[in-house]
Amino acid sequence: MSRKKVDSKEVGLELGLVLGRYFLKTDDLHYGYWPEDLEVDVVNFPKAQKNYSDFIFSHIPKDIHRFLDVGSGSGNFAKRLIENKYLVDCVSPSRYLTNQIREKLGDSANIFPCIYEDVKTEKRYDLALFSESFQYINIQVALEKSLEL
């Protein structure tokens, strides 16, 4: 009997999302922003995540219309962008998270189920958003790739 190899990254992402959903009532996998008036406590993590998303959203330049959301998590931020009439495509190397994004967004966004460095498209984007994913990508390669898109 051969044992099937388990991808620990996939397990970690799935576990993080499941734990966040059921224990913290959050569907996000990104950082949090903790202003001075918000106590750093695990129960405040969903609020800190919302603060982080709100901060990013509030700093979108007015002439931006087309986004490439790199490392889209479960698709929450992409969904918010789409609901606000932005055009969004997602990059998600995780099979599990890609399925979550598809369930959440349906056909409203194209999903590249690969690492950022392997994205191939003729589309051009106004902004490549690396909400937290930049830490996993070679900086030089990411900057060169971003200039192409």
User: Does residue 3 lie within any of the structural domains?
Assistant: no
Q: Is residue 2 in a domain?
A: no
Q: Show the domain range for 51.
A: 8-148
> How many contiguous H segments (helices) and E segments (strands) does the chain have?
5, 4
Global model pTM greater than 0.95: no
Confirm whether 68 is domain-assigned. yes
**pLDDT value at 86 more than 80:** yes
pLDDT digits (tens, 9 = 90+) for 28-49: 777 888 999 999 998 998 899 8
Q: Please report whether residue 107 resides in a domain.
A: yes
Of residues 128 and 148, the one with the higher pLDDT is: 128
Q: Do the domain assignments include residue 88?
A: yes
**Which pair of tokens denotes residue 45?**
């993590």
User: Would 83 be classed as within a structural domain?
Assistant: yes
3-state helix, strand, coil in the chain (%, to 5): 45, 10, 40
For residue 120, what is the domain's CATH number? 3.40.50.150
Assigned domain for 1 exists: no
Please state the domain count of the chain: 1
Could you tell me the sign of the dihedral formed by the alpha carbons of 76, 82, 84, 87, in that order?
Answer: positive
